[in-house]
Amino acid sequence: MLSSREVEKKKNNKVVEVGDVKVGGEELVIMAGPCAVESREQLFEAAHRVKEHGGQILRGGAFKPRTSPYSFQGLGEEGLKLLAQARERTGLKIVTEVMDSEDIDLVDSYADILQIGSRNMQNYGMLKKLGRVDTPILLKRGYSATIKEWLLAAEYIIAHGNPNVILCERGIRTFETATRNTLDLNAIAFIKETTDYPIIIDPSHGTGKRSLVTPLAQAGISVGADGVIVEVHPNPKEALCDGEQSLKPAEFANLVIKLDKVAKAIDKKLAV
């Protein structure tokens, strides 16, 4: 595979640059924000808290992949505009999902990172088209994709021209039902050892429970991830999606403090 680490291990990992934020380098990156962009007030409040407490990149969905056709589907382009405004106000970069190959150009005109969700990891038509832009791609692992399938999905993007792929482990589907998914931290260590991709973890989707996000984020940093992406909402109880796994701003602040300590214990540091 194109990106496989040689037997003689490389000294440096691949670094994907998102403006002046580097993913995969010496500093760990924190991406945070609400599951969905719901309103100007909600998004701006979230963005300010993410910036204040140490995040570099704002997440938020404008197009939402929902299992049911009757669930909230996102604000669409209006959501993208709000994200761009939040970027202007805070200086945060923005990462947001593109759900359909026809929307790539639209989302690309607003976002700093294009997120490909778990359900689209093997949407090969879309992957090929993502090869034609040079915006960084956050490629989430399919919830039942093997590591090999995931790396081959990444190669679709690279082979079609865009080398800027960041992987994101977000939990796999197993028989366990106590947690929403099973965060596969073996995968982080395996990928860091055998490839040069930057890789981050998503403990929010990986656990589905607010109280488990911080310990799993700590574990993810300890095992070698280049950063985390977490859901933060000003008022999780009223969130239109994923409220039960979203951190409150004060919990997010506490998370960053804890990750800073763990990072230092393994001779890394947060981007801050």
Interface positions with a copy of itself (CB under 8 A): 63, 65-70, 99-103, 119-120, 122-126, 143-144, 146-149, 152, 155-156, 159-160, 172-179, 181-190, 192-193, 206-207, 209, 211-212, 215-216, 218-224, 258, 261-262, 264-266
> Alpha-carbon distance 229 to 263, whole Å?
16
Least Å distance, CB 97 to a copy of itself, is 11
| 109 or 186: CB nearest a copy of itself | 186
Minimum distance between the CB of residue 90 and a copy of itself, rounded to whole angstroms? Answer: 29
In whole angstroms, the minimum distance from the beta carbon of 20 to a copy of itself comes to: 28
Closer of 51 and 76 to a copy of itself (Cβ): 76
Select 40 or 119, whichever has its Cβ closest to a copy of itself. Answer: 119
Which tokens hold the place of 1? 């595979």
Q: Which is nearer to a copy of itself, 250 or 257 (CB)?
A: 257
In this structure, is the dihedral angle defined by the CA atoms of residues 232, 236, 238 and 240, taken in order, positive or negative? positive
Residue closer to a copy of itself (CB basis): 46 or 187: 187
The identity of residue 147, as a single letter, is I
Q: How many residues does the chain have?
A: 272
| Cβ pair 1, 151 in contact under 8 A | yes
In the structure encoding, which two tokens stand for residue 130, read together? 């993502």
Work out how close the CB of 42 gets to a copy of itself at its nearest, in angstroms, rounded to a whole number: 23
196/221 Cα distance (integer angstroms): 17
CB 188 within 8 A of CB 224: yes
Say how far apart CA 246 and CA 183 lie, in whole Å.
Answer: 16
